[in-house]
C-alpha cells in the first residue's frame, strides 16, 4: 500500500509515518521503479502497536526500546516484560515527584501561616 493508505488505515499523518521512519520505529518503505513508497501489513501492525504503547504513556524513545521485541518474539512476552519495567519506572518517578510536591506544599503552608502571623502582629502595633 502507498503511504496515503497506510496513514489513513493507521489514523496518522504522512508526516508521522516519515517521522517514525527517521526514528527507526518503522522500517523504511520499499520503493518501486516509479519512486513511490510501498508499505506492507507489518508496517500497519507496527503503527498500531506504536499507538497502543503511546496510550500506555510510553515516550517515542521508550517505544523504540520495545517495539522490535513485539515483532521478534512470537509470544509477545519480552515486549510486555519491557513495557512493565518501563511502567514501573514511571510509577516510581511519579511517586518521587508526588513526595517532593507534598513536602513543598507543607513548606508553603508553613510560610503562609508565618507570613499571616507577621501581618497580624504588625497590625496589632
pLDDT of residue 125: 83
Q: Which domain holds residue 106?
A: 3-124
Q: Cα-flanking dihedrals φ and ψ of residue 32, to 5°?
A: -90, 175
In sequence order, what are the residues at sequence separation of 6 or more whose Cβ sits closer than 8 angstroms to the Cβ of residue 11? 51
CB 1 within 8 A of CB 39: yes
Give me the number of domains the chain comprises: 1
Domain holding 106: CATH number?
1.10.1660.10
- Segment 65-88 shows an average pLDDT of 95
CB 41 within 8 A of CB 14: no
Helix/strand number for the chain, H first, E second? 5, 2
- Answer left, alpha or beta for residue 36, where phi above 0 means left and psi between -120 and 50 means alpha: beta
Total-model pTM: 0.81
pLDDT of residue 105: 97
CB 83 within 8 A of CB 58: yes
- Segment holding 38, helix H or strand E: strand 37-38
pLDDT of residue 29: 73
Average pLDDT over all residues of the chain: 94
CB atoms within 10 A of CB 122: 8
Amino acid at each position: 500500500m502507498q503511504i496515503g493508505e497506510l496513514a489513513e488505515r493507521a489514523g496518522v499523518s504522512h508526516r508521522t509515518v516519515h517521522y517514525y521512519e527517521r526514528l527507526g520505529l518503522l522500517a523504511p518503505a520499499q520503493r518501486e521503479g516509479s519512486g513511490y513508497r510501498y508499505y506492507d501489513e507489518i508496517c500497519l501492525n507496527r503503527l498500531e502497536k506504536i499507538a497502543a504503547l503511546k496510550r500506555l504513556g510510553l515516550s517515542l524513545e521508550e517505544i523504540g526500546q520495545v517495539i522490535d521485541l513485539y515483532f521478534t518474539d512470537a509470544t509477545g512476552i519480552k515486549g510486555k516484560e519491557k513495557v512493565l519495567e518501563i511502567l514501573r519506572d514511571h510509577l516510581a518517578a511519579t511517586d518521587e515527584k508526588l513526595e517532593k510536591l507534598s513536602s513543598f506544599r507543607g513548606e508553603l503552608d508553613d510560610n503562609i501561616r508565618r507570613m499571616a502571623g507577621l501581618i497580624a502582629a504588625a497590625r496589632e502595633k
